[in-house]
């Protein structure tokens, strides 16, 4: 049996010498003083890394297998202002940050209501992944949420006290794929979710169109 892709080291092979709060505002940044076990078995010298401490999030691909439509949202993203060649309004899937005391499924259903006024018939956990582990602590838990597109009202949603202004629209699967190909859909969470759907769409349609 192959022993490839087997992790050699684990958490005990890192020493956090000191942890400093570098910044606290809407988000937090910490400065870590670290030692790590090297692949030659020796410990490294102490070095520093700044970590953007954002917390964990969920994303949910809202899809109706019977009509072959997805619910997509469009909203302003200030990080995209740093590329002057692109619009900072992005086409995304519904997502949100986890809060203490909530399960991941609770967060998914809450965000679907807040961002899209949408009820979810069934949930399927896809996987979790790191966003940018070289400098950020955030992990995304990604879900599929089966919806009834006939009960979706397109329009503008979001919470005023969080300055949300979120436009909701139903998109045919074929149009979403074209959005991937031509770059209209260009954020990681939506790309990952839609590529997963390309691989699993036939199974979902067989499951739900025959039920």
Residues forming the active site: 162
Q: Which position has the token pair 């997509």?
A: 72
E strand spans, 102-185: 122-130, 139-146, 155-157, 166-172
- 8 Å CB contact between 129 and 59: no
- How far apart CA 90 and CA 105 sit, in angstroms, is 24
In angstroms, how far apart are the furthest CA atoms of the chain? 61
- The pairing of beta strand 94-97 with beta strand 155-157: unpaired
């Amino acid at each position: 049996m192959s022993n490839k892709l087997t992790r050699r080291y684990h958490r005990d092979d890192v020493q956090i010498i000191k942890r400093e709060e570098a910044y606290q505002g809407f988000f937090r940044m910490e400065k870590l003083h670290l030692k790590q076990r090297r692949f030659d078995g020796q410990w490294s010298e102490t070095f520093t890394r700044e970590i953007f401490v954002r917390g964990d999030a969920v994303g949910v691909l809202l899809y109706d297998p019977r009509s072959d439509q997805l619910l997509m949202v469009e909203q302003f993203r200030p990080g995209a202002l740093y590329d002057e060649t692109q619009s900072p309004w992005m086409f995304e899937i519904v997502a949100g940050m986890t809060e203490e005391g909530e399960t991941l499924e609770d967060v998914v259903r809450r965000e679907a209501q807040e961002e899209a006024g949408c009820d979810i018939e069934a949930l399927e956990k896809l996987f979790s992944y790191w966003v940018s582990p070289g400098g950020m602590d955030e992990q995304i838990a990604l879900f599929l949420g089966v919806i009834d597109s006939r009960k979706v009202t397109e329009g503008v949603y979001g919470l005023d006290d969080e300055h949300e202004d979120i436009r909701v629209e139903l998109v045919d699967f074929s149009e979403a794929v074209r959005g991937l190909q031509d770059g209209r859909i260009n954020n990681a969470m939506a790309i990952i979710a839609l590529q997963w759907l390309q691989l699993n769409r036939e199974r979902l349609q067989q499951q739900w169109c025959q039920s």
